[in-house]
């Protein structure tokens, strides 16, 4: 079996994970696409390059989008965010990874994306053929706007995230989280309850429909642990939960727990950090 793997770039992390999945399926050819992002045109170039081969891509926004275009152009089924393949059977993630689906693909060719972090990238970079899509009349990116982050570390890139939920109680309540974040060079995050209440902007939301984060430490303050939220923070290497309710679901996802009122505990941690740093 031959497999064509679409890579966002030859050294992109999720694309290299997709390469690992592709290598488990057969002989691999890797491709990248040149020029401005134009999903339909990129997909057409990939379809042409693939011949009759299986096509695999990364489980990123672009990977899933390009493969969906490929699937629509070929009128074939497409399984997004696959974590395991066994012939024509596969496992894919649902609900942002908090549930799995075992499924059977009824098609001569497999169109798949690799669920992020379900596969380990085995190479630093790879040789990829560069495709030149036909951009005539294509829907393509015409401009890029970058937000003003005020020099703060972004949620997606932060090594530490200090995140607050309903238990924070108000927009003003985030002051103590901001303070702790400042000491740790951390980003401040929040749960969906918080953005729905208007306490924080949606750009701070961690979760299935917000930002997915993978910091070294995620500090969940007053967050109950709904699956919507866990889907966004399960990539953290360590999770510290601070919650007054010792039955809170978040503790089942935590590596470390502090039980009690975050309004007392968070300032105490900040004070302790200052003491340690000052000495």
Partner 1 sequence: MRILVCVKRVPITGGRMVLTADAQAIETKHLGFTISPHEECGVEEAVRIVEAGGGEVVVLTLGPEEAAEQIRDCMAIGADRGIHLVSSEEWDAQATAAAIAEAIRGEEPFDLVVFGNESADAGGYQVGIRVAYALGLPVVTGLKGLTVDGGRARCEQEVPGGRDVYDVALPAVVTVKEGLNLPRYPSVPAKLRAKSKPLDARPVERPVSKLEKLRLVVPAGSRKQAEILGEGPGAAPRVVEVMQQLGVA
- Among 143, 172, 278, 279, the residue binding partner 1 under the rule CB under 8 A is 143
- Among 58, 97, 165, 173, the residue binding partner 1 under the rule CB under 8 A is 97
Rounded CA separation 187/177 (Å): 10
Rounded CA separation 184/142 (Å): 38
Pick the closer one to partner 1 by CB: 48 or 216.
216
Rounded CA separation 239/254 (Å): 5
Q: Which of residues 167-206 bind partner 1 (CB under 8 A)?
A: 183-184, 192, 195-196, 198, 202-203, 205
Query: What is the per-residue binding string for partner 1 in 10-49, x denoting contact by CB under 8 A?
Result: ---------------------------x-xx---------
Pick the closer one to partner 1 by CB: 49 or 258.
258
Pick the closer one to partner 1 by CB: 49 or 100.
100
121, 13 Cβ separation under 8 angstroms: yes
Nearest distance from residue 51's CB to partner 1, in Å? 21
Does residue 268 interact with partner 1 by CB under 8 A? yes
Q: Long-range contacts made by residues 179-183, C-beta under 8 angstroms, separation at least 24?
A: 179/266, 179/267, 179/270, 180/219, 180/266, 180/269, 180/270, 180/273, 183/270, 183/273, 183/274, 183/277
Of 248, 252, 228, nearest in space to 239 by CA: 252
Pick the closer one to partner 1 by CB: 31 or 225.
225
114, 56 Cβ separation under 8 angstroms: yes
β-strands 111-114, 217-221 pairing: unpaired
Nearest distance from residue 271's CB to partner 1, in Å? 7
Using a 10 angstrom Cβ sphere, with 0-12 exposed, 13-18 middle and 19 or more buried, the burial of residue 36 is middle
Does residue 160 interact with partner 1 by CB under 8 A? yes
- Among 6, 78, 174, 199, the residue binding partner 1 under the rule CB under 8 A is 78
Nearest distance from residue 89's CB to partner 1, in Å? 7
Does residue 269 interact with partner 1 by CB under 8 A? yes
- Among 136, 276, 278, 279, the residue binding partner 1 under the rule CB under 8 A is 276
# of chain residues touching partner 1 (CB under 8 A): 93
């Amino acid at each position: 079996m031959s497999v064509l793997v679409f890579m966002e770039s030859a050294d992109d992390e999720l694309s290299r994970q997709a390469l690992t999945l592709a290598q488990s399926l057969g002989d691999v050819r890797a491709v990248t696409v040149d020029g401005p992002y134009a999903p339909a045109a990129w997909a057409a170039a990939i379809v042409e390059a693939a011949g009759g081969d299986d096509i695999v891509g990364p489980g990123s926004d672009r990977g899933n989008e390009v493969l969906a275009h490929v699937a629509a152009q070929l009128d074939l089924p497409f399984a997004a965010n696959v974590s395991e393949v066994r012939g024509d059977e596969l496992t894919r993630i649902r609900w942002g990874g908090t549930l799995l689906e075992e499924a059977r693909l009824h098609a001569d060719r497999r169109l798949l994306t690799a669920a992020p972090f379900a596969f380990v990238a085995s190479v630093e970079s790879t040789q990829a053929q560069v495709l030149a899509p036909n951009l005539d009349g294509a829907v393509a990116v015409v401009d890029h706007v970058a937000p003003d982050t005020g020099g703060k570390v972004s949620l997606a890139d932060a090594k530490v995230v200090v995140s607050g939920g309903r238990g924070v109680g108000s927009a003003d309540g985030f002051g103590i989280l901001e303070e702790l974040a400042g000491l740790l060079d951390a980003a401040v995050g929040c749960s969906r309850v918080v953005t729905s209440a208007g306490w924080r902007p949606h750009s701070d939301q961690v979760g299935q429909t917000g930002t997915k984060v993978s910091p070294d430490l995620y500090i969940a303050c007053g967050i109950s642990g709904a699956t919507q939220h866990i889907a966004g923070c399960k990539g953290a290497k360590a999770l510290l939960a601070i919650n007054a309710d010792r039955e809170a679901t978040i503790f089942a996802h935590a590596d470390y727990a502090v039980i009690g009122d975050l309004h007392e505990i968070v300032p105490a941690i900040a004070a302790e950090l200052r003491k340690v740093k000052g000495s």
